[in-house]
Amino acid sequence: ELKVEQNPLFLSMQEGKNYTIYCNYSTTSDRLYWYRQDPGKSLESLFVLLSNGAVKQEGRLMASLDTKARLSTLHITAAVHDLSATYFCAVGGIDKLIFGTGTRLQVFP
């Protein structure tokens, strides 16, 4: 059974600092996704990573995938308050997504 683990579960960071969220999954999978969720809101697609070594960047967020280690990272550069949200990684294919537990990020001045 595919399991997806994220850490940390909670991250409080100061504006301007860098940090990384880790996503480990237990079995080989076609692709890996990162989503953002604001409190009480829907999930917004951030990245989809399709192959080993894939790297995607959007603004202050950069995601990478190492399929051999079954590990994806979401790196935050020079955090700003607007990045405060919960971030989920999800693994799956064309039939379903298995989500990680989520990392709740709070960025403070």
Partner 1 sequence: DSGVTQTPKHLITATGQRVTLRCSPRSGDLSVYWYQQSLDQGLQFLIQYYNGEERAKGNILERFSAQQFPDLHSELNLSSLELGDSALYFCASSAPFGGGSTDTQYFGPGTRLTVL
Task: Kindly determine how many residues on this chain lie close enough to bind partner 1 according to the rule CB under 8 A.
Answer: 21
> β-strands 103-108, 10-14: how paired?
parallel
Helix, strand, or coil (residue 83)? helix
How far is the C-alpha of 68 from the C-alpha of 57, rounded, in Å?
A: 21
Helix, strand, or coil (residue 81)? helix
Tokens 């997806």 identify what position?
A: 4
Q: Which of 13, 43, 54, 62 binds partner 1 (CB under 8 A)?
A: 43
Q: Which of 24, 102, 104, 106 binds partner 1 (CB under 8 A)?
A: 102
**Binding track, positions 23-42, relative to partner 1; x by CB under 8 A:** --------x-x-x-----xx
- Of 21 and 79, nearer to partner 1 (C-beta) is 21
Helix, strand, or coil (residue 82)? helix
The residue ranges that bind partner 1 (CB under 8 A) are 31, 33, 35, 41-45, 48, 50, 88, 90, 93-99, 101-102
